[in-house]
Structure 1
Amino acid sequence: MAAAASPVLPQELIVEILSWLPVKPLMRFRCVSKAWYSLIFHPSFIKLHLQRLPKNTHVLLTFDNYECVTCFTPCSIRRLLENPSSTVIDGCHRFKYYNFVFGVCNGLVCLFDSSHKDGFEEYRIRIWNPATRIMSEDFPRLRLHSNDCKVVNYRRACEYTKFGFGYDDLSDTYKVVVILLYGKSQQREVRVRCLGDPCWRKILTCPAFPILKQQLCGQFVDDTVNWLALRRPGSDYQWETVAINELVIFSYDLKKETYGYVLMPDGLSEVPVVEPCLGVLKGCLCLSHDQRRTHFVVWLTREFGVERSWTRLLNVSYEHFRNHGCPPYYRFVTPLCMSENEDVLLLANDEGSEFVFYNLRDNRIDRIQDFDSYKFSFLSHDYVPSLVLPYKN
C-alpha cells in the first residue's frame, strides 16, 4: 500500500505565515529550498514583511570605544531597558572602515568615512543591513576639491558637509543626501544618490546658512531629512551670538526634492547654553538641550511640521540627578530610548559613564547603571530588523 502523500501548503498560506516571522528564523529558512530563498528575498515579500514588523521596538546605538573605533549595536528596547550594559556588549559590531553612521531607515544603516589627500576630500559610503549581515558595494565616491568646498580635514568636513539617509515611498527609493557648502560662492548645494543610481545628482542650491556644527547627520522623519540650523546668511557663527528666533530645523523633502524650515517649540524661549541636539524617539523628532545650566530638557513633536505638537517630555534639574548620586554634566546627557508605554526614558550620561532610567510618570529616577568607562558618546537611532536589501534588487 502506497504511503500517503505529505500535504502541501498553498503558496499564499506559506507567504502569510512567513511574513509574520522575525528576520532571524527567516534567514535560517532561506536554506530550506531555492524556492524559499527566492521568496524571502523577493521585493514584494520584503515589503510585506516590513509592513508587518512591529515599530518602535528596537534601536541602534552607536558609540566610540577606547580604540576610537565607532561601534554599532542593534537591540530591542525591552532588553536594553532591562540590562543596557550587557545588551550593548552582546550585540556589538565594528568595522575597520566606514566608522560613522549618518542614517538609519527601515533596517538599513548608512555608513560613512572620508580621507583627505592632495587637496581633495573623498567620501566613502556603504549601506549595511545588520539583521541579514548583507553589505552593499561602495557608492560612487564623492570627491571634492578643498578650493571649492570648505573641507580641509575630517573635522572640518563634518562641520561644513552634512549627510542624511531616508526612504522616498513615492519612488520606492532609498536616498543618500549630501549638503555641501561652497566657499567661493557662499552657497549650499544638495546632492542626492538613489540606491542603484550610477552617480550623484545635483538637486538644488540655496544661499549659505549655518547648519549647527554638532549636527553631523540628518534625522529622517515623515519623508524628510532634518538638521538643526540657523536662519541667517553666511556659513559660520559663534554660538554666543545666536538669537532664539534664528534657531530652526532645516528640512529636506525626499519626495518633492525641496527644502523648508520647521520652527522650534514655542516653549523654548531662550538660546540654550550649548548647542541642542536633534534626534528621533519613537518615530518622532526629539530635541534635547541644557537650560541655564540648571535643567536638562527633552521635547518631542508628535506631528511633524506642526509647531503646536511639540511636547515637553522631560524637564529635570541637575540637582535631582545629583541627589541620586549621579553628577551629570549638561553637555553629555543623551536620550536613548523610551519604553513602549512611555513611562521610562533611558538616558546616557557619557561624562559619568552611566545609564539613567528616568520614570516619566512619577518624575523620578528609578535606577542608575554604570557602563564601561571606555565607551563614550552614545547616540541612538530608530531601528527595525528587516529583510530590506542594501542594494537595488
Structure 2
Amino acid sequence: MISLKDPLEKESVGEKALGSCYGLVFFVCYNDVILLWNPTTQKTRLIPDPITPFSNATRFYGLGYDHSIDDYKMVRASRSISSDAIISQVFSLKTGSWRTIQTAHMNINDPDEIGLFSNGAIHWIVRHRAHNGGLIKSETILSFNVKDERFLEIRLPNSDESENEESGFWSVGDLKGCLYVVYGGDGVDMDVWVMKEYGVERSWNKVIKLDWVRFSCDYGMMPVCFTHGDEVVIDLDSWDLVRFNVKENTYKRFKKCSTDWHFWVVYTETLVSPYG
C-alpha cells in the first residue's frame, strides 16, 4: 500500500467532488475551481476559470479522453432551472483554453455531479422532469461523446424493483470496457447491470446481486471497481473496503488507512502530464 501526498494541501480551494479518467484525477472545489492531479507523478494543475461564467443552476462535470486528437477534455455543464437547455464548456489540456459548445435541449433533472468516462463518452445518471416541473421516477443516462462533443441519452435497464420508491440507479462504472450501472438503495440488495454492447439497449444484462444482509451495512454499499479476476471491490458505508470473490462467494476486508470516513476514486497509473 502506497501513501500519497494530499494534492489540495497547498491550495486553499476546498474539495467538493472528485472523479478520474485514465491516469488523471480531478477535484471540483467549492469555488468552482478545478484541480487536475496525476497521483503517480504527483503533478498538479489548476484549470483557469472559463471566460463566460455560469449563472446559478445545476452544474455537472466530467473528464474524458479524445483518442482522435490525443487530448484530454474537461467538460463543465449547467442545466438551466427555468428551461431544458444544457449549456456546456469544454477545456482542452493541449490548448489550455475553454470553449463554449452548442447548447443542448433535453428534459433532465438532478444529474450526478461527476460523470464516468467509458467507450469514448462521459456518463451521468439523470432524472426526467414532469411537465408540471415536478420530479417523476424516470431515470436515464446522459452521455457526452468527447470526440463529437454531443449529448445523447441511453436508456437504463428495466429493473424488477422499478416500482420500489426506496430504490433507484445509483451510479455508473466501467467493467473491462463495458458500461455498467448499479441499482438498489438503503436496506435493499444491489444489482449490477452491464451493457454488453455499447449503445445497444437490449444488451443490458444483470451480472451480480450484492446481498445487503451479507455485508452488514448500516447506510449503503457501492461497487468501487472490478479486478481482472472474479472479484469486485465494494465500499461499505464509506467506512470499510472489501474485496468480494463472486465465484467463491467470499470476501476480505482491506486494512484501513485512517479512522475517519473516506472518499475513493479509481485511476490507472500513467506518466501523463496534467498539462497535456
Structure-1 residue corresponding to 2:171: 277
Q: CA-to-partner distance for each residue in 1:247-277, whole Å, 9 max, x for gaps? A: 1100111111111111112445515524422
Q: Which amino acid aligns with 2:56?
A: C
| Contact persistence 1:102–1:112 (CA under 8 A) | yes
The 1:236–1:139 alpha-carbon spacing in structure 2 relative to 1, beyond 3 Å, is farther
- In the aligned structure 2, how far is the partner of 1:198 from the partner of 1:336? 31
Structure-2 residue corresponding to 1:359: 245
| Contact persistence 2:65–2:146 (CA under 8 A) | yes
Q: Aligned-pair distance for 1:186?
A: 4.7
| Contact persistence 1:162–1:180 (CA under 8 A) | yes
- In the aligned structure 1, how far is the partner of 2:99 from the partner of 2:232? 40
Q: Which amino acid aligns with 1:340?
A: H
- Say whether 1:221 aligns with 2:118: yes
Which consecutive unaligned segments of at least 5 residues does structure 1 have? Answer: 1-86, 116-122, 151-159
TM-score, normalised to structure 2, is 0.83
| Bigger fraction of residues in helix | 1
| Contact persistence 1:252–1:258 (CA under 8 A) | yes
Structure-1 residue corresponding to 2:56: 149
- In the aligned structure 2, how far is the partner of 1:310 from the partner of 1:166? 23
- In the aligned structure 2, how far is the partner of 1:170 from the partner of 1:249? 24
Q: Aligned-pair distance for 1:126?
A: 2.8
| Contact persistence 1:302–1:309 (CA under 8 A) | yes
- Say whether 1:139 aligns with 2:47: yes
Superposition pairs for residues 264-303 of structure 1, below 5 Å? 264-267=156-159, 270-271=162-163, 273-275=166-168, 276-290=170-184, 293-303=187-197
The 1:271–1:141 alpha-carbon spacing in structure 2 relative to 1, beyond 3 Å, is farther
- In the aligned structure 1, how far is the partner of 2:206 from the partner of 2:262? 24
Structure-2 residue corresponding to 1:328: 217
Deviates more, 1:198-207 or 1:166-175: 198-207
Q: Aligned-pair distance for 1:235?
A: 11
Percent pairwise identity: 23
TM-score, normalised to structure 1, is 0.60
| Contact persistence 1:114–1:124 (CA under 8 A) | yes
Q: Which amino acid aligns with 1:218?
A: G
The 1:370–1:171 alpha-carbon spacing in structure 2 relative to 1, beyond 3 Å, is closer
Aligned length: 270
| Bigger fraction of residues in strand | 2
Greater relative contact order (Cα < 8 A, sep 6+): 1
| Contact persistence 1:129–1:390 (CA under 8 A) | yes
SS at match of 1:264: coil
Which consecutive unaligned segments of at least 5 residues does structure 2 have? Answer: none
Superposition pairs for residues 8-87 of structure 1, below 5 Å? 87=1
Q: Which amino acid aligns with 1:230?
A: R
Structure-2 residue corresponding to 1:385: 269
Match of residue 93, structure 2, among 195, 198, 206: 195
SS at match of 1:128: strand
Structure-1 residue corresponding to 2:201: 307
The 1:236–1:373 alpha-carbon spacing in structure 2 relative to 1, beyond 3 Å, is farther
- In the aligned structure 2, how far is the partner of 1:236 from the partner of 1:106? 38
Structure-2 residue corresponding to 1:349: 236
The 1:387–1:124 alpha-carbon spacing in structure 2 relative to 1, beyond 3 Å, is same
Q: Aligned-pair distance for 1:360?
A: 1.0
Structure-2 residue corresponding to 1:248: 140
Q: Which amino acid aligns with 2:49?
A: R
The 1:368–1:131 alpha-carbon spacing in structure 2 relative to 1, beyond 3 Å, is closer
Q: CA-to-partner distance for each residue in 1:313-369, whole Å, 9 max, x for gaps? A: 3213323x1xxxx5213x52011222322x222211126x3333322113x233345
- In the aligned structure 1, how far is the partner of 2:220 from the partner of 2:52? 33
